[in-house]
Amino acid sequence: MWAYITYFVNATVLAAALRMATPLIFTSMGGIFSERSGVINIGLEGMMLTGAFMGMLVTYYSGTPWVGLLGALASGAVMGLIHAVASVRYKVDQVVSGTAINIFAVGFTVFMLRTVFDVAGTSPAVPRIQSITLPLISRIPVVGEIIGNQNPMVYMALALVVLVHVFLFRTVWGLRLRAVGEHPKAADTVGINVFQTRYIAVIASGALAGLGGAYLSIAHLSRFGDGMTAGRGFISLAAMIFGKWTPFGALGASILFGFADAVQMRLQEVGIPRHFVQMGPYILTMIALAGFIGRATPPKAIGKPYEKE
């Protein structure tokens, strides 16, 4: 029995779970920024895909994946800006704007891939951010095997969670951001600029989703492929909801979903179709939203454009 369990839960699988969770962590942190400020962001998928492509493209031309990462960050921010202009300034329905961004990203990335490289499907290989071995920690049994030898972006993602938590709950800017998402009118009354706050939050959201996408193309792999995010933006959205719009909650959900991703092949081997494992995150999120496992309640002002009187 024990051997059976350790076949599914062991250091190798957990290390893989962390790798699979990393793009979800970046992107769900992005989701938290946007939604905590009151702006639904279902465009995360498209922002991620754009980041994956631009990360590859900038790496291709600069030869340095770290520069590519900046490119991904910037391109994600631009997509965030578009979402912000549409939904904050022009009061476009936030879900519609997000949908448009997702469709745009699919068209734009394939269009550019074919135009720049004259290839369909997969970009040429580019240098990637290499994994590193942490001194000392890597020698700790089990723990070292899980976190001792990972990609720098994995560590960045974990650090980001702490930073976002501190920002949201321990700084005045975080308080303002949350106020804008819960009760914009009250926030406005005490002199917080609702529009500016939402702009910054949504741009940050896109930038982080861009990093999440870049992890796929220039850290985990070393090339871009059509549609390579494959729904991870939506899983990140699910992780954010499942984690009740908190950084540590989203981290936990991301790792859980990453674990499902990492273990699916092994489950397939024992006769559990992997498709049912892949459905897991989505079904869990629906159950959480319905209130069956501790109700997940979104920020109050979410989805509503703010009208200044």
Contact call for residues 87 and 97 (beta carbons, < 8 A): yes
Give the shortest CB-30-to-other proteins separation in angstroms.
Answer: 16
Give the shortest CB-147-to-other proteins separation in angstroms.
Answer: 29
Q: Which tokens belong to 195?
A: 């529009």
11, 13, 264 from 274: Cα distances, Å: 21, 15, 5
Give the shortest CB-42-to-other proteins separation in angstroms.
Answer: 7
Nearer to other proteins, 104 or 167 (CB): 104
Contact call for residues 32 and 174 (beta carbons, < 8 A): no
Q: Which residues bind other proteins (CB under 8 A)?
A: 40, 42, 86, 90-93, 95-97, 99-104, 106-108, 110-111, 114-115, 231, 234, 237-238, 241, 273, 275-276, 278-279, 282-283, 285-286, 289-291, 298, 303
Nearer to other proteins, 137 or 283 (CB): 283
Contact call for residues 215 and 153 (beta carbons, < 8 A): yes
Alpha-helical (H) ranges within 216-290 are 232-242, 247-269, 274-290
Give the shortest CB-238-to-other proteins separation in angstroms.
Answer: 7
Give the shortest CB-194-to-other proteins separation in angstroms.
Answer: 18
Nearer to other proteins, 275 or 308 (CB): 275
Alpha-helical (H) ranges within the chain are 2-8, 11-36, 44-62, 65-84, 94-117, 143-147, 152-170, 172-182, 184-189, 194-215, 232-242, 247-269, 274-290
Give the shortest CB-143-to-other proteins separation in angstroms.
Answer: 33
Residue-wise burial string across 208-240, b where 16 or more C-beta atoms lie within 10 A, e elsewhere: bbbbbbbbbbbbbbbbbbbebbeebbbbbbbbb
Q: Is the Cα dihedral 32, 37, 43, 47 positive or negative? A: negative
Give the shortest CB-254-to-other proteins separation in angstroms.
Answer: 16
Nearer to other proteins, 67 or 112 (CB): 112
Nearer to other proteins, 167 or 266 (CB): 266
Calculate Rg over the CA atoms of the chain: 19
Q: How far apart are CA 276 and CA 274, in angstroms?
A: 5
Nearer to other proteins, 64 or 268 (CB): 268
Nearer to other proteins, 63 or 121 (CB): 121
Give the shortest CB-69-to-other proteins separation in angstroms.
Answer: 25
Nearer to other proteins, 40 or 301 (CB): 40
Contact call for residues 153 and 19 (beta carbons, < 8 A): no
Give the shortest CB-203-to-other proteins separation in angstroms.
Answer: 17
Nearer to other proteins, 70 or 106 (CB): 106
Query: What angle, rounded to 10 degrees, do the helices at 11-36 and 194-215 form?
Result: 160
